[in-house]
Structure 1
Amino acid sequence: MKMGRLVLMKIEKEYLNLEDVYEIRIFDAAEVDFYNSTPHEFDIEDDPIQEFINNISDNVHIFIPHEDGKDFIIQYLSSNILETYNISQEDAKGRLLSKISPLCFYMLHDYLFEIYTNHSTKEMRIVYYDNQNELIKKITAKIVFYMERIFIIVSNVGGTIGNPAGMLDKTLDENQNSIMENLSQTGSYYIINGKYTWSQGIYNIINRNKEESDEQHNIVFDLAIPEDNYKVDKILSIPNKETSQCDEVIRIVDAEGILKLIEVTVYSYFDDKGVFIRQGWINVLTQRHGESSESIDFLLDGSKSSMKLAWLIEPLNKKLYSFSKGFYNLIEKDYGEYVHSREILNNIAEKEVVDELKKLADGDISKVDETLTYKVDGNPQNIKIVNLYIERFEYNNNVHSLGFLSDVTEEMLKKEQLIESNERQLVLIKELHHRVKNNLQIINSFLNLEKRAYKNNPELVIEHMQTRLTSLALLHEKTYNSPDFKNINLNECLTDQDVSTKKLVNSPMEIEFKTYVDENINVSIEVITPLLLIIDELTMIAIRNAFPDKTTLNKKIIKKVTMSDKDTVLLTFEEIGIGINDSKDITDVIGCEIIKSLTKQLDGTITSIKNENGIVYELVFPIEMMHTIH
């Protein structure tokens, strides 16, 4: 091969993380690009494994590392490759990969070298496209290092280089047919020049393995019971030189002695080359559901959600359908209770999905791939979310269909809950940042006020700031441990605030803090933030004015929080000490700015009353503010 051809050819390499496979994509390649006739260079002796591979596989290639992996000597190529290029094993053996196929060397060397160096294993896929970017061939392989050699084991080949793009569609149809025949009692055969070829589905029907003599006679009709031999004669007597069709229902006894009623459809036609072909399609009409459902569900065994998965064989055929157990579990009916008809569509909530399924059944579209809401027995209170896929296709001049269902109700609910939770967390985080910013602004404002009021007493300013910051830190801790910002337990917060305040007071044992809160009062962060700061201010006023003499005994601060009605909270703050001389107005006592501002923020009102023990402050505020987060 000339290297100029490599320049013209487009090659892409990529590691597909989700599939854990290395993919090479080749565009506009031809068979001549992959092989150069080159002289023999190395004598390679066969070893025992060579003989073993010769007898078991057409899809193994063996390479021997050369010059520490710089190149690779060919020991063995699969017979498929040899046939493709019309060469023998001796034409390839003992040649360097870089010379016999520069293109393959360019594509594979890095992977082969890594496997040789690390003694690892790689999954690989090579995909070929024509000059119109249409897929024409796909190869999947595993590359293994073993016995100082590199083994490339090809596990799947689809298409052929140079084939038209339609080859892919043909392959898909054959795959669909293979699935049907292996999961159901359906099979096909054809006869050319007196020799039969039988699909695997036929052997499933007659319950035996393939035998060499099967091409010589009709292995299905041989099992017909004597009473139905006249129908067999009718089928076999179709004129051999004209296009015709015959449909019959006959009874056979399979290899295990089971009587089966089968439907036989036979076609006779000439192919494009004028060769006469007789082709038959066979469906089992009896014992279908029980047997095929068991075989289908057997494939699903071992899956934790097997009862949430369902195979649908011929779902568009009211006579020949076969569904796995997962289907009956999903619709919550026993097999015997269910009658297959379009009536089941009435239980699907989405009208557009129902319309699609009707179009599919009528042949207007070829497939349906949807997620739908299924109402069990039409009950809107018992719904299931279901992934549905059904495809119809033609095979042997008949229309067939395959599909599956998957109950994803739990997964969808969890997904919705996760989305809601994530959205809520985003709102809460955003709001938390907003609150932190506001609280820092409040502290900054208080600091400016007190710097002016207590410019000769900086230690007092620091003490007040410590108290406020401690309360805000406590509040944020409670917020983190709360499921949201609107249900923070007030009793816990005030109790913890008392503990923190005691630690900040110079003589903590001289002042007794008592707090009483009505059970289960929960408030939002909008309420509790200014409330804690108001209590801090009142506490600092009491310590500074009501308890000036540290020798005074029985100093107490008592707080009571009660519900005055269903919407309003009453906080009573009582200091038991020597009191304040002038108590006619709370604003006169504390300089107005801080508590007045916080009370306004709380949408509340505060009053003070002088009694014989000290001063009682009463703060009334709504339990839920108009701008509370929901």
Structure 2
Amino acid sequence: MRIEKEHMDLENIDEIRIYNAPKKDFYIPTPQEFDIDEILMSNLIDNIPVDIHTFIPYENGKDFIIESLGSFTLKKYNCTQEDAKGRLLSKLSPLFFDILHDYLLDVYENHTVKMIRFVYYKKNKLTKLSNAKILFDMDRIFIITNNVDTGVSKWEYIDDDTFDEDKSSMMENFSQTGSYYNINGKYTWSQGIYNIINRPKEESDDFYNIVFDLVIPDDQHIVDKIFDTTNKETAQCNEIIRIMTRDEVMKIIEVSVYSYFDESGLIIRQGLINDITQHYHYEASKPVDFLLDGFKNSKKLALLIEPLNKKQYKFSKGFYYLIEKDYEEYDHSRKILDNVVEKDAIERLNKLCDGEISKIDETITLNVDGNPYNQKVVDLYIESFRYKNDIHSLGFLTDITEEMEKQHQLIESNEQRLILIKEIHHRVKNNLQILNSFLNLEKRTYKNDPKLIIEHMQTRLTSLALLHEKTYKSQDFKNINLNEYLLDQDSQTKDLMDLPVEVEFETYVDEDLNLTIEVITPLLLIIDELTMNAIKHAFPDKSAPNKKIIKNITKLDDNTAMLIIKDNGVGIKNPKKISKNLGCEIVKSLTKQLGGNISLIETENGTAYRLIFPTKMEHTIN
């Protein structure tokens, strides 16, 4: 279902068009809520040729109580007055309530009079038309409607004698030229119109445009243009359109429509219609229509017929979809070239328009409607050629915006893969060099304890392997979340090291702390060294309870973070002596690589270090 509203300026009436609304949406049986007195003049109301509906305002117009509905409406929805009265309009007919509430409230509050035309369609065919007047009187809202069903039986042909009152009517009987008048929404059709559309008069013909109702879909935009022009100002409109009669005969007709006011200020529309099928070689008979029809469903490819001719051009729908304008809004001129980004392309296009070159085939960028923030990349091909004594042109316009974006993404993706490969080789080489340096140092220091050397090296290798695995899976070297790395590192350290005592790890990291791989690599190795030192020296008494190593990393500002790592062991008796051992030398070297500052801090028990370090370092691969 679809509902459209439009104010018809010249007639000063609101037209409400309702498409494909099922009957159940108009009438929903509901229990009576309010007692309603017997309606005065109910017999009269039931026997007049119009529908009169009466409503009582409820809660200051928030809703309306149905006092009565007209007989036409009751019959339409197969119900009685007893089924309708005493119900709220919002419950009995939610659809009508939504459509009418603002009109009813305005009439109730301001005692104005509203004119509304309801036009009902089913599958784009007119099925019913109602002209309604809404007014307020006797503390009630009255809606007076004149209803017409367009599906009623046809009138029979009238004897020819009735049309031969004078010579002009006799000529009209055989003419393929007709006219009509539209006064107050009611049409009067001449016999020539019926000759054109190949059918007799019908009762509903007074209430809708029987010619425009037959216009083929491809020409519907021309009808919209006629109505738009003649509705909004006193005007004249001349067009050529195609209609398909009920007996499936295609006709080409010339339409001239005039809108003007009579002496009393009443708006009158007059239409003159001429069947020119035999005399007019319309595009429907040309191969160009078949070409355009083949492109009608394409949104990315447009066929351009005579693109260099400002008056006789024809473009497929893809063109208007690409420039994001309706057919009626588009004015074909060189102004569209102002939206082309590439200046050299504009020069070549102007040369093509001036006949200096005969062909253009290139990719251009288009600012849609002049908006540089809404750009499309298009392939444009236009070729001009001579046929007999005239110059013609043909072209294609293809929207390749998405394809270009995918191509750029693919290029960027390939470049990123190359960077990743270089980064992997670079990281592996650097880390092996670091481990090799540590191994040489420990070989000299712990030459009598090879098991310790292997244990230390295992821990470092495991930390670096963990870092490589997680980082390369994410393929992101610039935003590594530290928390999950440290939790995994704690678990790996417990599994690898032969702990002489039961030690508990506690780790706290700011959730939003993301580090680059340049920072996290030496940081993990520093934590490894300090953790191994604590395990070896902090807990000589194996029976002591609650042994802990605690790591706390917090973000100080956008560029700096702090690590506090401490244990609750026996502490360091001679800090000067411990600062010269191998573990501390390795930590100092890694801290220098990190660009940080490490210090031993005083604590009541155990040992604690503070490391201040940057959260970002320059990326090694650009």
TM tier, smaller = 0.5 to 0.7
AA of the residue aligned to 1:375? N
For 1:357, the equivalent position in structure 2 comes to: 349
Superposition map of 1:82-101 within 5 A: none
Q: Distance in 1 between matches of 2:243 and 2:607?
A: 104
CA contact (8 A) 1:583 1:610 kept: no
User: SS at the partner of 1:370?
Assistant: strand
For 1:447, the equivalent position in structure 2 comes to: 439
User: 1:586 Cα shift?
Assistant: 5.8
Q: Tell me whether 1:582 sits opposite 2:574 in the alignment.
A: yes
For 2:381, the equivalent position in structure 1 comes to: 389
CA contact (8 A) 2:459 2:493 kept: yes
Q: Deviations over 1:372-416 (max 9, x none)?
A: 111111111111111101111122232211110111111112221
User: 1:502 Cα shift?
Assistant: 1.1
Q: Tell me whether 1:534 sits opposite 2:529 in the alignment.
A: no
User: 1:319 Cα shift?
Assistant: 1.9
CA contact (8 A) 2:368 2:376 kept: yes
Q: Deviations over 1:575-611 (max 9, x none)?
A: 1222333224763244543111100000011111353
Q: Tell me whether 1:608 sits opposite 2:603 in the alignment.
A: no
Distance 1:319 1:301, change over 3 A: closer
Q: Deviations over 1:196-233 (max 9, x none)?
A: xxxxxxxxxxxxxxxxxxxxxxxxxxxxxxxxxxxxxx
Picking from 601, 617, 620, the partner of 1:625 is 617
Q: Deviations over 1:128-177 (max 9, x none)?
A: xxxxxxxxxxxxxxxxxxxxxxxxxxxxxxxxxxxxxxxxxxxxxxxxxx
Q: Distance in 2 between matches of 1:453 and 1:290?
A: 99
Picking from 548, 571, 596, the partner of 2:540 is 548
Q: Distance in 1 between matches of 2:583 and 2:492?
A: 25
Distance 1:486 1:292, change over 3 A: farther
Q: TM-score, normalised by structure 2?
A: 0.53
Superposition map of 1:461-500 within 5 A: 461-500=453-492
CA contact (8 A) 1:297 1:324 kept: yes
Superposition map of 1:257-406 within 5 A: 257-258=251-252, 288=283, 295-300=290-295, 306-406=298-398
For 1:415, the equivalent position in structure 2 comes to: 407
Q: Distance in 2 between matches of 1:473 and 1:259?
A: 82
Q: Distance in 1 between matches of 2:280 and 2:425?
A: 69
RMSD, aligned α-carbons: 3.0
User: 1:338 Cα shift?
Assistant: 1.1
For 2:554, the equivalent position in structure 1 comes to: 562
Q: Distance in 2 between matches of 1:616 and 1:458?
A: 28
AA of the residue aligned to 1:587? S
Distance 1:431 1:586, change over 3 A: farther
Q: Distance in 2 between matches of 1:468 and 1:610?
A: 28
Superposition map of 1:5-24 within 5 A: none
AA of the residue aligned to 1:492? E
CA contact (8 A) 2:295 2:317 kept: no
Q: Distance in 1 between matches of 2:520 and 2:462?
A: 14
Superposition map of 1:121-200 within 5 A: none
Q: Distance in 1 between matches of 2:589 and 2:311?
A: 81
User: SS at the partner of 1:481?
Assistant: helix
Q: Distance in 2 between matches of 1:286 and 1:484?
A: 67
Q: TM-score, normalised by structure 1?
A: 0.53
User: 1:552 Cα shift?
Assistant: 3.0
Distance 1:373 1:319, change over 3 A: same
Distance 1:285 1:522, change over 3 A: farther
CA contact (8 A) 2:360 2:382 kept: yes
User: SS at the partner of 2:318?
Assistant: helix
Q: Distance in 2 between matches of 1:500 and 1:252?
A: 81
Superposition map of 1:171-250 within 5 A: none
AA of the residue aligned to 1:496? D
User: SS at the partner of 2:328?
Assistant: helix
CA contact (8 A) 1:367 1:391 kept: yes
CA contact (8 A) 2:439 2:453 kept: yes
CA contact (8 A) 1:289 1:323 kept: no
User: SS at the partner of 2:398?
Assistant: strand
For 2:425, the equivalent position in structure 1 comes to: 433
User: 1:287 Cα shift?
Assistant: 5.7
CA contact (8 A) 2:482 2:509 kept: yes
Q: Distance in 1 between matches of 2:506 and 2:371?
A: 57
AA of the residue aligned to 1:516? Y
AA of the residue aligned to 1:308? K
Distance 1:591 1:536, change over 3 A: closer
CA contact (8 A) 1:586 1:608 kept: no
AA of the residue aligned to 1:443? L
CA contact (8 A) 2:529 2:583 kept: no
For 2:585, the equivalent position in structure 1 comes to: 593
CA contact (8 A) 2:283 2:289 kept: no
Q: Distance in 1 between matches of 2:408 and 2:577?
A: 55
AA of the residue aligned to 1:513? F
CA contact (8 A) 1:604 1:619 kept: yes
User: SS at the partner of 1:588?
Assistant: coil
AA of the residue aligned to 1:475? L
Q: Distance in 2 between matches of 1:553 and 1:491?
A: 27
Q: Deviations over 1:410-435 (max 9, x none)?
A: 11122212222322332232122101
User: 1:510 Cα shift?
Assistant: 0.8
Percent identity, aligned pairs only, is: 62
User: 1:256 Cα shift?
Assistant: 4.2
Q: Distance in 1 between matches of 2:586 and 2:319?
A: 69
Distance 1:581 1:291, change over 3 A: farther
AA of the residue aligned to 2:375? I
CA contact (8 A) 2:305 2:395 kept: yes
User: 1:488 Cα shift?
Assistant: 0.4
CA contact (8 A) 1:582 1:589 kept: no
Q: Distance in 2 between matches of 1:427 and 1:619?
A: 31
For 2:229, the equivalent position in structure 1 comes to: none
Q: Distance in 1 between matches of 2:436 and 2:558?
A: 35
CA contact (8 A) 1:313 1:401 kept: yes
Distance 1:443 1:569, change over 3 A: same
Structure 1: tracts of 5 or more residues without a match: 1-250, 262-283
User: 1:460 Cα shift?
Assistant: 0.4
Q: Deviations over 1:523-573 (max 9, x none)?
A: 000000000000000111111111234333211110000122332111000
Q: Deviations over 1:335-380 (max 9, x none)?
A: 1111211111111111111111111122211210111111111111
User: SS at the partner of 2:307?
Assistant: coil
Deviates more, 1:545-554 or 1:465-474: 545-554
Q: Distance in 1 between matches of 2:340 and 2:285?
A: 26
For 1:59, the equivalent position in structure 2 comes to: none
Distance 1:514 1:472, change over 3 A: same
